[in-house]
Structure 1
Amino acid sequence: MTHTVELLALDGRDPLGFLASLGVTRLLHDEANLDVELSYDETSARALLHGPLTTVDAVVDALVEVVDAIAADGVLPRVPATFPLPRVGATPDPMRMPRDQVSSRVHAMTNRHRAPALNNWLAVLVTDLASDIQGRAALTPYTAPAGRQSLRSFFNKPLDEVRKAPALLIRQALTRWRRVNGCTGEYLDHRVLSSAADHPSGHSTDAGVPGATWLATMSLPLLRLTGTGKLPQATLWHHLAGHRQPVMSWPLWRQPLNLHAIATLLEHPDLRPHTNSRNDILIDPAAWPALGVFTAAAAVRQPAEGRRSKGILTPIAIVAASRRPGSPAGRYSGR
């Protein structure tokens, strides 16, 4: 029998909420071996989980088991504890490898460990089909390393926080967000940053949602990574005329979809955004009824003062407008 569980805190119009809902679905399917599907409420945009689990408590318990199954010194499910490779001392992040060395290093890692899940993670984290200005292989745009941040710490920091109280923090991620001082949000949550005037302590302090951040990082195996030879290309990310930064855009759908259907929908060519002469970000809703889509949202990385990174993922408005002149338009945006 299939049940529907509403995940009250996971608003699909928000980039962190959307990625976290994908992470929940993927972990329950791939790690907990449950037949689950995902949709969104047309009124609230909250994530709806469909499957054998009857309550939020049951969802939390299944996700806590996934956390507990990760090796004590590891950061990802079912992969060697040393992956992603850790930084040693003051050396650069070993995952930021020269482009011409990716093939040999990946071959060495996969031959040494022979873990099927390792191949899946490698394919979505780093690609030699694009490079940065230093000639290093490009990372997925879902990461935005700054300072000493490494690819491993992108996963390790939120997981370390969740491990302090797995049931509590995962429940909060699904039902009602509580912000934790010192949780960085891994540049997936623009509300992490607060000025001294905004924070009760009178100091500028990062305050993220550990459980939601961890769940969002667990969505990456669903999000393909490749490149044009120069620029990285990833699921939901688009290089648009008039915009220096790539734009992340995604649909919300009403019908329950399994992981394979979700991956197909997220890549659908009729859901790609475009721009007009004013550089507004537009998406044509003509295909929405047939695809079961009822709205769309978008985000870009906004630079943060004093931080050298590609920026923090921040919701922006997206306009639903037909490519046909004279057709009506509607404006949609993240929370």
Structure 2
Amino acid sequence: MDFQNGFKADSHFSLSRRSFLSSAIATTLGIQPYNFSAAESPVTSKAQIAITFDLEMSRQYPRRDMLEWDFQKGNLNQETKAYSLKAAEIASGLNGLVHYFCVGRVLEQEDIQWLKTISELGHPIGNHTYDHVNVWATDPEKTQFRFQRSPWLLGGKSADQVIRQNIRLTTEAMKQRLNISPDGFRTPGGSSTALDAREDLQNMLLAEGFSWVSSKYPSHKYSSPDTEPDNDIYQSILTAQKEAQPYIYPSGLVEIPMSPISDVGAFRTSHWKLKYFLKSVELCIQQAIEQGSVFDFLCHPSIMYVEDPHFETVKLICKLVNQSGGRAEIVGLSDIAKSVPRKTS
């Protein structure tokens, strides 16, 4: 499933910024664009663009029959580690930043110098639980495939206790082996309802020292496998992107949603070619820049080293931001969290 289509990100940058950003989305989707004059051009805040990598192994990669990773999410192979480090170096060279989320079992591996180097380069690393557990689970054995195969590992703990321990272990592992505290928390998997109805999880994360979480993934349409996405699919993703904006729970915890479409949905579910993925990313960033909104790009290096071996997506995001005329910036999720307006009484 290695798509080598020769698509070059550099071909995206020949149009003027203002007219391009206001009309490219509409034109691509077959909608008549509205041209703003200088006097009536809408004033928006600076768009915040995040590049996030979840450090875990992914089923069906590098081959479709690879399912064992569900039980060994933190046993990163050499290709995944090398891709993660190279992406950090490329982003740094393009005035960019990558926010990583680490599954704690990664830190059991003997050599973690690659991850230390990522941190030393200034890229933030967050907590992604120790075993990649489902934080929404209420049955302890359903928190992770590993515990269904080896239930004795649960030690009689409740789902709440399993999840809390998984979070704490990762925080402690990061402190001991990386000498850093986690920069935020991302749930393994995402939910269109986020933690909206789970005040218990909100309070758990707050108690564990986190001020923000990235748990929401908005619903959108997917194209059939091995089928080129049509305009309806892209429009659905753009609509969902508007639902992927940060907000604050009543508990005070900040939610920073993951933006569609993820590499899992694009490549593993719909079997997209890389050029379809790049088009979706570009459309979403154009929309974010035009609206002064947030785009939280989500991917997994264990997938991307197969699907995007030349880092075209990271390069594209950095170039779009660098050529936005100051209308966008690449930031970590903590910077986004600080920018979310809080209600005043």
Q: Shorter-normalised TM-score: what interval?
A: under 0.3
Q: Going by fraction, where is strand more abundant, 1 or 2? A: 1
TM-score by length of 1: 0.25
Q: Going by fraction, where is helix more abundant, 1 or 2? A: 2
Per chain length, whose mean CA-contact separation is higher, i.e. which structure has more relative contact order (CA < 8 Å, sep 6+)? 2
